[in-house]
Structure 1
Amino acid sequence: MAKPVADTQSHENAAGFVTDENPIAGFSHLHDSGTGGQPSMGNFPLFVHPGCPDDDFAKCAYSVMHRPTNRVPDSVFAAPGYFRINLTNTVQAEMTATAHAALYRFGFSGNATVDVYTTDLDPPLHGVPYSPLVLVDLVDLMNSRSAGSMRVDPATGRVVGHGRYLPSFGAGTYRAFFCADFRGAAIRRTGTFVSNNATEEPKSLDGVGPGFHVPTGSAGVWLQFAPPANNSLLARVGVSFVSVDRACENAEREIGDWHFERVESDARKAWRRKLAAVEVDATGVSEELQTTFWSGLYRTMLSPQNYTGENPLWNSSEPYYDSFYCIWDSFRAQHPLLTIIDPAAQTEMVRALIDIYRHEGKLPDCRMSFCKGFTQGGSNADVVIADAFIKNLTEGVDWDAAYEAVVSDAEVEPKNWGVEGRGNLVSWHNVGYIPWDDTDKNGTGPASRSISRGVEYAYDDYCISLLAAGLNRTADAIKYHRRGANWRNYWNPDQRDTYKDRTGAVRQTAFQGFLQPRLLNGTFHYQAPRACSPVQDMHSCYFDTGLDTYEGSPWLYSFYAPHDMATLVRLMGGPAAFAERLRFFHTSGIAYMGNEQAFLPVFQFHYAARPALSSFFTHAYIPRLFNASAGGIPGNDDCAMGAFSAFAMMGFFPVAGQDVYLLTAPFFPEVRLRARADGRWAVIRVVSGFDPEQGRRIYIQRARLNGKIYTRNWITHEFFAKGGLLELWVGEEEGEWGTAEGDLPPSYYPDGWDKHGPEGEDEV
């Protein structure tokens, strides 16, 4: 839960720190990782001055608008469980963490006076007396505080407080609490500040209002210390969402010894234990590719966050996880990766989702800071739950409650489907699509995204059918399997790919047939197939805009039928035409890898008997877009970008919600995975032809599984659950491996289906 880092005054500082040249505004303890939208949390930041001009505390900068200070170039160092940065005011800040507390170590030059440089816009301060001042601010990254209080004990230096804040992509408010202690120097003075005005009295602030009362949002307490004996000052901050007392208990229990090196070592060991589920032979592989791989795995495990025991909303014996940010982003890659490398945590997340349903009445599609997040697409927790079921993550899971939850998504429209569940269910049930001009008044939500919500509802229903079948609910399995075919109702076979070139002339490619919005009367409405792509109106399709796809184009969403790919390939003209269309998508600029819906299309060449092309584009995107540079993540991470690169580099990718992993050539000569300490390793080994440069020998020529010839271009979860050896031979040319009809991934809708469902129940 505790994630301390430096917060930068940057445009997209959603996780606090950004690698750019913007100044540092503070060091805070609660963060979410890689999210989009408004920045999240960043509550109760500390800021440290080496001293104040003329030794006058009132002359230090306090507000978040005035205190930001430049970082020393190239001074940042980050590792799992540790972060360090030097500021141009001569302060070095180091930080590490336990589960619910942060420990900071602030280092000083030790000179009697220092020259302080803040930002390039501010004149330097010369001869500032050495007497560190630490302030603690009630502000958060979004400046969303609506209430709060803070007090300092002038004898002990303990600072406690709380505030009420907004979630960054949701509805409601949350409360957070902290407890800070300091060690290493005698306290000279203490006081409070509001905005940039500091006083020694009072020692507490209560009910400090936002807005015009505190124009910058900043308000809090300050402590000034005598020069530390070893020029180092420790700050320990416990955090909680329950109470100040709980925050203090967390700090005292987890960092009672104040031993920075011990805390850092424990954090590093904890990360090593988590990452030990994966081993690679990196012989010949560049350091940059290794860094890309391991940092991707690391980021995959940053969220959702384990807040078990810190839930103020209800009492439960079930685990509680938060920061599902958002399941629309994470269900496609992150949760399937955790299913393999951390099944215990993934199982707890599934249990937490079910418990949220018990107490909130609906599964979340997005949830952060104990608040309901906005629903971006379908009810994709349905996919996460079904994925866990078919991959046997069952420990402690109440499958009856799980089934009740997903059926609620499919059948019961909530009052506000903008934050949970699904909308337009009357039409979805009766006509099999979401009409562009629907008159459904059973609930409210943004009247947008009819295509993207529709294809996701269809896949969600298909996944519910798997759960129903596994729980012996045959009639339901048939019903939801039929609804899974509803995506076809958006297919307009006559829609052409028309666009304007740079001169404004209307052009048209040979590609015909795209998903399009439909009206209540059954006719098609129009959305430009390239709209909301990098080549046309990129930023026009969001949660509350009027178009019919979300953060992607009809071109992109026309590939989304992962359960019915045989039909999609047929509709697009057969395997050769499908492969050509998909290749064009990846080479024309229409594809954008910064959003998760583009992940699976990298690998969907498998369904057209061209697995080599999936391998080609995997190796094209890595390392071109996924690499170890500061810009080496093509979009907001949400813990999913790292999952994509990790999967791709290991040589397989999941079709989330199905027991299917699509195989490509790995980036290492050998990859070993073991989810449980007592389990066997699942080993993927390149026996012959491995190319450490990843430039030429990137195509699987033949394979052998546990000593037997293996021709399918996909594999099931049994390989990872039970262990085994998959041997690959790779080469420079596209071969015949995985191209026979019987070697293609399954498609679950046989010939003879129309929009009304199967011809016979036995086909389910």
Structure 2
Amino acid sequence: MGPRLLPRVEAFGAIAAVLYGSVALNTQVTLADNFDPLDYVDPLIGTANGGHVFPGATLPFGMAKAVADTIGENQAGFAFDTTVVSGFSHMHDSGTGGSPSMGNFPIFAQPACPNDDLNQCKWQLNDRASTWKRDSPKARPGYFGISLDNGVHAEMTTTNRSALYRFTFDETSADALSPVILVDLIDLPQSRTNGTADVNKSTGRLTGNGTFNPSFGIGSYDLHFCVDFKGAELRDTGVWNKNRANFSRETVTLAADGTNTPATLSAGTFARFHAPKNNTILARVGVSFISVNQACVNAEREQPDFDFEGSVSAAEAAWRKKLDVISVDAEGVSDDLQKVFWSGAYRAMISPQDYTGENPLWKSDEPYYDSYYCIWDSYRSIHPLLTLVDPLSQSLMLRSLIDIYRNEGYLPDCRMSLCKGFTQGGSNADVVVADAYLKKIPGIDWDTAYEAVVKDAEIEPANWNVEGRGGLHSWKSLGYIPTDDYDPDGVGTHTRSISRTVEYAYNDFCIAEMAHGMGHKEDYEKYLGRSGNWVNMYKADQKSSIQGADTNFTGFLQPRYTNGTWGYQDPIFCSPLLNFTSCYLNPDGHETYEGSAWLYTFYAPHDMGSLVQTLGGAEEFAKRLTYFHESGLLYVGDEQAFLPVYQFHYAGRPGLSAKYNHFYIPSQFNTTVAGIAGNDDSGAMGSYVVLSMMGLWPVPGQDVYLITPPYFKEVSIRNGITGKLATIRNVNFDPSYQSIYIQSAKLNGKEWTKNWVTHDFWTEGGVLELTLGSEESDWGTKMEDLPP
């Protein structure tokens, strides 16, 4: 969902020397008896340079997400490369591209009004914004804190459906301490169409609701809030509108009539207090998609005592429970690399978000998860990682996807804020479903799941911008999506003919796998046949050049017309070397999506034997893939780039997969606030780092894990269903990462020559032992040792 380009380190040798050279001087031995993974989680990683990471307080997959909202590039609320904070809000998404998401009903605290005059307080968003102190942000799982120049130190934590804020006031910053806390009927993208806020003059409770738009989809959603306070005696309450406060009114309403638009003037309610004990006031905020009453009930049930420290402690315990299934022997590994690893694991468990019990659209006993942002991004690494470290949550998410199908007619490709999100490529929920089927995720209604994926393949929706697939008439009759496609069956954006074709092919392969396992022989043969359609976009004589110099590689995917003739898109177009940001969902977004024809020519993960031969055989394939990495054509900040790091395995060169794994980590993934490549896309970059550093890369939608050495002496995962422990162990481990090439391997004590394993390793447990050396060997290179 929108790449960003980071500086590139050109030489692998230089990366190794610069980034690994001092490893031995900065090490820490991880001891199981005193190790706390939360000490190695830094939520601020990725909060600058377009990373859009949410650094605030949340539970794993929690609905409530509290953080300071900055003005600027604030897709996730807070960004480190900003200067002012305008509020503190309770709902966010993490790592998304596009416009900001949620950030509804921010509250804002001021120590006092100048001259004790409410009308001299600052009410509107830009007026009230206060500079935040550069060294003040503190973030830890379940906690966020920040200090403002207006004399407020704000801290926050969350439960599932509520946030708890602790405001500490510097009384020297105001004439006299009489804090004012307001709530604003606004959201981050300023999409509110109508809203109402009320105040209870006797208790100071602030309540209300509003109607908002999703940040990357269609439709609208209603959200409700309930704010209570503790710690100071209530002085007065009222509403504010424009730049004035009103004591006499208890309600303010903003109608969808074009006046008081969020971008110009907003409005809300407030409570003013006498000087609090210890200069501290607590604000408890409940949120709900159902009603104001349920928002209040959520807060009262989850935070009855306004216990800030207790809520932080409970959140930390929840995060430890999620992360404790992973264990590493990090002897010799730098603290920074450990932080990259554990912070990535943390970010992969922020979304999708558990909205069970908060779905007003239909009644169901099934779980409801939201913020699939988007499955085009998450199927490649987030869901495969959750299958390993949290299979029970993955089961709940699959059940939710299937229930969305039951009630809305299609599996989503993207979904947020109860709304249908935009489809970026194929119907990639098919891949998530097939992956779960192959890996025996429990609790799934597989008959309905199969019905859903077949509908994606066979029945075109009226609006395929937000579900299903478009161009199915051409797909079935021509075997590709033409660039001049005529689609009589539905409406959608007629771009991405190349990328949609290869994604549809893989989607159909995944359906074929399910059909085979479930005994649908005719479907199996049909969808397996369609999965070969990727080759219909391959133009064997197409050449490619960079700044006039031939790359010396021939044969690339190209656009094709309905009559079978070829169009043209420069193979390097929409790569970092040519018009990088020209291939989005806009109507003139071209024939590939967020990537080049160079990139998509490598995308046939189900048909790699044919692809390798099509591109000239194993040696030529490895040469082409090497050039792809070395030339600057590949940008690892987009999720389609993940698999090409490991596709050397299919050419019998697993050592090169290990080499380029280390080529990108840590050069593009580190502990700075700009320390991820691309925006995080709900944890896609975080999960890429974790899987890469663990050493077994999953091919999503297949029962295949490609083997490379972990970044640790040993990595283990305890399966959440079977309880079995799977361990990958390095022999001759070298924390300077000069010896990254597998010389030999043993699986449960027996020689293992295949360069891949199946999911049984994770569910049944065992030990995969890898002996390492400083040069490539012949391990995993023979034809019989390659992935299927």
Give the TM-score category using the shorter length.
over 0.9
1:733 alignment partner AA: E
* Partner residue, 2:11: none
2:99 alignment partner AA: Q
- Asked if 1:641 corresponds to 2:689, the answer is no
CA contact (8 A) 1:150 1:161 kept: yes
Percentage of identical aligned residues: 56
Q: How does 1:532-611 map to 2 (within 5 A)?
A: 532-544=574-586, 545-611=588-654
- Asked if 1:95 corresponds to 2:156, the answer is yes
Give per-residue Cα distances to partners, 1:699-735, cap 9 Å, x unaligned: 1111100000111111110001111101111111111
- Asked if 1:714 corresponds to 2:762, the answer is no
Whole-angstrom distance in 1 between the partners of 2:480 and 2:120 = 64
Q: How does 1:474-553 map to 2 (within 5 A)?
A: 474-499=521-546, 501=547, 506-544=548-586, 545-553=588-596
* Partner residue, 2:727: 683
1:318 alignment partner AA: E
Q: CA deviation at 1:195?
A: 3.2
Give per-residue Cα distances to partners, 1:140-185, cap 9 Å, x unaligned: 0000000110011111011111000000000000011111100000
* Partner residue, 2:492: 445
Select which of 667, 672, 695 maps to 1:624. 667
CA contact (8 A) 2:144 2:156 kept: yes
- Asked if 1:460 corresponds to 2:503, the answer is no
Whole-angstrom distance in 2 between the partners of 1:213 and 1:262 = 40
Give per-residue Cα distances to partners, 1:339-379, cap 9 Å, x unaligned: 01000010111111111011101110000001000000000
Whole-angstrom distance in 1 between the partners of 2:494 and 2:430 = 22
Whole-angstrom distance in 1 between the partners of 2:236 and 2:750 = 75
1:140 alignment partner AA: D
- Asked if 1:346 corresponds to 2:390, the answer is no
Give the TM-score normalised by structure 2.
0.91
- Asked if 1:3 corresponds to 2:65, the answer is yes
* Partner residue, 2:375: 327
2:514 alignment partner AA: L
Give per-residue Cα distances to partners, 1:420-468, cap 9 Å, x unaligned: 0000001100110011111122111001000101100000000000111
Q: CA deviation at 1:253?
A: 0.5
Q: CA deviation at 1:543?
A: 1.0
Q: CA deviation at 1:213?
A: 2.6
CA contact (8 A) 2:254 2:260 kept: no
1:524 alignment partner AA: W
Q: CA deviation at 1:24?
A: 0.7
Whole-angstrom distance in 2 between the partners of 1:38 and 1:195 = 25
* Partner residue, 1:432: 479
Select which of 292, 297, 303 maps to 2:351. 303
Q: CA deviation at 1:622?
A: 0.4
2:156 alignment partner AA: M
Q: CA deviation at 1:217?
A: 4.7
* Partner residue, 1:757: none
* Partner residue, 2:12: none
Whole-angstrom distance in 1 between the partners of 2:570 and 2:131 = 45
Whole-angstrom distance in 1 between the partners of 2:394 and 2:340 = 23
Whole-angstrom distance in 1 between the partners of 2:119 and 2:706 = 63
CA contact (8 A) 1:64 1:216 kept: no
- The 3-state SS of whatever aligns with 1:128 is coil
2:178 alignment partner AA: S
Whole-angstrom distance in 1 between the partners of 2:243 and 2:684 = 40
Select which of 671, 684, 704 maps to 2:715. 671
Select which of 362, 387, 391 maps to 1:314. 362
Whole-angstrom distance in 2 between the partners of 1:193 and 1:150 = 10
| 195 and 591 in structure 1: CA distance in 2 versus 1, 3 angstrom threshold | farther
CA contact (8 A) 2:71 2:82 kept: no
| 200 and 208 in structure 1: CA distance in 2 versus 1, 3 angstrom threshold | farther
* Partner residue, 2:407: 359
- Asked if 1:402 corresponds to 2:445, the answer is no
Q: Which runs of 5+ in 2 are unaligned?
A: 1-62
Select which of 639, 644, 656 maps to 1:613. 656
- The 3-state SS of whatever aligns with 1:686 is strand
* Partner residue, 1:755: none
Give per-residue Cα distances to partners, 1:552-602, cap 9 Å, x unaligned: 000000000000011111111111111111111111111111110000000
CA contact (8 A) 1:143 1:217 kept: no
Give per-residue Cα distances to partners, 1:240-287, cap 9 Å, x unaligned: 111111111100000001111111000000000011111111111111
* Partner residue, 2:34: none
- The 3-state SS of whatever aligns with 2:133 is coil
Whole-angstrom distance in 2 between the partners of 1:64 and 1:216 = 9
- The 3-state SS of whatever aligns with 1:233 is strand
* Partner residue, 1:732: 774
Q: How does 1:274-289 map to 2 (within 5 A)?
A: 274-289=322-337
* Partner residue, 2:18: none
* Partner residue, 1:270: 318
- The 3-state SS of whatever aligns with 1:213 is coil
Whole-angstrom distance in 2 between the partners of 1:498 and 1:664 = 32
CA contact (8 A) 2:391 2:721 kept: no
2:685 alignment partner AA: M
Q: CA deviation at 1:630?
A: 0.8
Whole-angstrom distance in 2 between the partners of 1:151 and 1:288 = 48
Aligned residues: 723
* Partner residue, 1:759: none
Whole-angstrom distance in 1 between the partners of 2:320 and 2:450 = 36
Range with greater deviation from structure 2 (401-410 or 195-204): 195-204
Whole-angstrom distance in 1 between the partners of 2:776 and 2:243 = 66
Q: Which runs of 4+ in 1 moved over 3 A?
A: 207-212
Whole-angstrom distance in 2 between the partners of 1:741 and 1:344 = 36
Select which of 176, 191, 195 maps to 2:242. 195
Select which of 276, 301, 306 maps to 1:228. 276
- The 3-state SS of whatever aligns with 1:335 is helix
Q: CA deviation at 1:523?
A: 1.3
Select which of 274, 278, 299 maps to 1:251. 299
- The 3-state SS of whatever aligns with 1:385 is helix
Whole-angstrom distance in 2 between the partners of 1:196 and 1:702 = 72
Give per-residue Cα distances to partners, 1:535-562, cap 9 Å, x unaligned: 1001100012341000000000000000
Whole-angstrom distance in 1 between the partners of 2:113 and 2:254 = 28
Q: CA deviation at 1:698?
A: 1.1
CA contact (8 A) 1:210 1:217 kept: no
Q: Which runs of 5+ in 1 are unaligned?
A: 115-126, 747-764
Q: CA deviation at 1:678?
A: 5.5
Give per-residue Cα distances to partners, 1:262-315, cap 9 Å, x unaligned: 110000000000111111111111111011100100000011001010000000
Q: CA deviation at 1:482?
A: 0.4
Report the aligned-residue RMSD. 1.1
Q: How does 1:236-247 map to 2 (within 5 A)?
A: 236-247=284-295
Whole-angstrom distance in 2 between the partners of 1:153 and 1:245 = 14
Q: CA deviation at 1:400?
A: 1.1
Higher relative contact order by CA 8 Å / sep ≥ 6: 1 or 2?
2
- The 3-state SS of whatever aligns with 2:239 is strand
- The 3-state SS of whatever aligns with 2:281 is strand
Give per-residue Cα distances to partners, 1:2-25, cap 9 Å, x unaligned: 0101111122x1111111232111
Whole-angstrom distance in 1 between the partners of 2:686 and 2:698 = 14
Select which of 695, 705, 720 maps to 1:651. 695
CA contact (8 A) 1:162 1:175 kept: yes
CA contact (8 A) 2:286 2:296 kept: yes
CA contact (8 A) 2:260 2:266 kept: no
Give per-residue Cα distances to partners, 1:84-112, cap 9 Å, x unaligned: 11111121111001000000101112x3x
